[in-house]
Amino acid sequence: MALEIPDGDPPVAIDLDRASSLRLTWADGRQTTFSIETLRSNCPCAQCRSERDRGQVPWPKATLVDQELRVHDAELVGNWGLQVTWHDGHSTGIFSWGVLRAWAGLDDPAAGTSEEQTDTSDR
């Protein structure tokens, strides 16, 4: 059986470029980088989830199409995640470390057996 992985296992380093990307370094030395567009379009807050459920995308917004996405601020939420405030004032999404690890595939139990598969999702 797999060991239980604590959901709140935080990164040892957080490197945020407010205009482009968030890089996390985990305790095991692995690094994961998320573009801020990826973070915003997958924002886990209830509002963005319901927009995605309706087939809309949280970003880019049609009304803000000429604005570049930027992170205005980000702060740790306890020991389990990062709350990002975006340039347009949106700040209800909290990205838990567990979710970010899952997006990066770090905790995917199948990752060890399917790494050879061709991944075409980067198109």
Which residues would be at the binding site for Zn ion (CB under 5 A)?
43, 45, 48, 93
Write down the least CB distance from residue 93 to Zn ion, Å: 4
- Per DSSP, what are the bridge partners of residue 73? 85
Nearest approach, Cβ of 5 to Zn ion (angstroms)?
26
- Is the peptide bond between 11 and the residue preceding it cis, with omega within 30 degrees of 0? no
- Cβ(72)–Cβ(86) below 8 Å: yes
Nearest distance in Å: CB 91, Zn ion: 8
Q: Which is nearer to Zn ion, 10 or 93 (CB)?
A: 93
Closer to Zn ion by Cβ: residue 18 or 61: 61
What distance in Å separates the CA atoms of residue 98 and residue 90, rounded to the nearest whole number?
22
* Residue 79: both structure tokens together: 């020991």
Whole-number Cα distances in Å, 31 to 24, 49, 90: 6, 27, 27
Cα 5 to Cα 46, 75, 92, 106: the distances in Å are 25, 23, 26, 11
Least distance (Å) between residue 105 CB and Zn ion: 22
When the beta carbons of 9 and 80 are compared against Zn ion, the nearer one is 80
Cβ proximity to Zn ion: between 42 and 106 the closer is 42
